[in-house]
Structure 1
Amino acid sequence: MSELAKRTVVGMILIVVALGLAFIGGWPFALMVALMATGMYVEWTRIVRDWGIGWKILGFIYCLLPALALLWIRERAEYQGLGTGPDLLIWVFLVVWSTDIGAYFAGRAIGGPKLAPSISPNKTIAGLVGGVISAAAISGLWAYSQGLPTILYGMAVPFAIAAQGGDLFESGLKRRAGVKDSGNWLPGHGGLLDRLDGLVPVSVLTAALMLSGWL
């Protein structure tokens, strides 16, 4: 099986699991989030094991905040009139997933100038633009179809950029540590940090919008 095929199959499985548990909610979703955060922190501590206690504390916060944000979004969005059930949570997922997919295919198809060659030599400006356009279109369609607040139409663009920033932050972390992937749990994807780096800023920013009253 080619690397792309392996990546696609594993990615589809992860999407089905995430969507299924998002719809179920309750303790099954909370358990998935807890396992996700734990796995991320295990990978983080392996990467920064020789960097001092400060990095371990930072990693704890880095893994805890998106977990709390996801739980908050899933349980509180409906009470705040932000769609029904997992509508807003799925919007968060779609921003992250469509950014990743759009950036991957646009970067491969177009190429061109590198986005941050000293951090991640494979990422291109075309990939960034493709990811942003993909996120705006797909998450925008979802927000419109579910009657979510119109502010989300505009938020998809900066949130997609934030997702790419999360990806670059994790790439920089790995480059400093001299490792290619954060783990090998997910064939074709690496570790949980590799797969969820974009979800960290997008989930936290979405929860912050809710808490601030902008949503």
Structure 2
Amino acid sequence: MSEVALRSVAGVAMILVALTAEWFGGTVFAVLVAAAATLMYYEWSRLVRGWGLEWHVGGFFYALIPALALLWVRERAGQPIADKGFALVIWAFIVTWATDIGAFFAGRHFGGPRLAPSISPAKTLSGVAGGVVAATVMAGVWAVITGVHWAWLLLAPLFSLSAVAGDLFESWLKRRAGVKDAGAIIPGHGGVLDRLDGLVPVAVLTGGAVLVGLA
């Protein structure tokens, strides 16, 4: 199986698991989020081994805060679909996934100047642009369909850029640690940290936006 095919199959499987847990909410979603946060911290701890206690403490909050943000946003109201909490967690997922997928295919197709060659040589400016456009369109459509606050239409490209920043930060961590991937649990993708690095800032920012009254 080619790299693209393997990534696609694993990606679809992860999306289906996340959407199913998100649909059920409650304990099901909480268990998935807790498991993901635990694996993220485990992989982080391996990356920063020997860097000092502050890195381990920082990693604890790096995994904990977005997890709490997602759980808080998801459980704010009643039934699935009609529930704004449900819609906004999906919105955060869409922003993250569309940014990643759009960047992958746009970068492979258009190439061009590198975004940060000293940190992540494979990332290109065309990939960033493709990811932001994909996230803006897809998350915008979801926002209109679900009737959330109009401000989420404007936040999509900004949060997409935060997902790119989250990806770059994790790439910097791996480069400093001298490894290609944070783990090997996901075929074609590496570790859990490799797949959720973009969701970390998006989840936190989504929680912050809801906290100030956007729903």
1:86 CA displacement: 1.3
Q: Deviations over 1:42-74 (max 9, x none)?
A: 000000011000000000010000100110110
In structure 2, distance between residues paired with 1:90 and 1:141: 12
**Distance in 1 between residues matched to 2:84 and 2:214, nearest whole Å:** 18
What is the identity, as a one-letter code, of the residue corresponding to 2:192? Answer: L
**Which residue in 2 is equivalent to 1:76?**
76
2:135 counterpart of 1:135: yes
2:40 touches 2:193 (CA, 8 Å); kept in 1?
A: yes
Counterparts of 1:190 and 1:63, CA distance in 2? 17
Q: Find the counterpart in structure 2 of residue 208 from structure 1.
A: 208
Give the alignment's TM-score, normalised by structure 1.
0.96
- Aligned-pair Cα RMSD in Å: 1.3
User: Separation in 2 of the partners of 1:124 and 1:104?
Assistant: 9
**What is the CA-CA distance between 1:76 and the residue it aligns to?**
1.4
Q: Relative to structure 1, is the Cα distance of residues 78 and 114 closer, same or farther in structure 2, using a 3 angstrom cutoff?
A: farther
> Partner amino acid for 1:114?
R
1:115 alignment partner, SS class: strand
Alignment partner, residue 88 of structure 1 = 88
Identity %: 56
Deviation, structure 1 residue 212: 2.0
Whether contact under 8 Å (1:23, 1:85) holds in the other structure is no
Partner SS state of residue 122, structure 1: strand
Point out where structure 2 has 5 or more consecutive residues left out of the alignment.
none
Classify 1:78/1:169 alpha carbon distance in 2 versus 1 (closer, same or farther; 3 Å): farther
* Paired residue type of 1:16: L
Change (3 A) 1:146 1:14: same
Aligned equivalent of 1:189: 189
Q: CA deviation at 1:213?
A: 2.4
4+ residue runs of structure 1 moved beyond 3 angstroms?
82-85
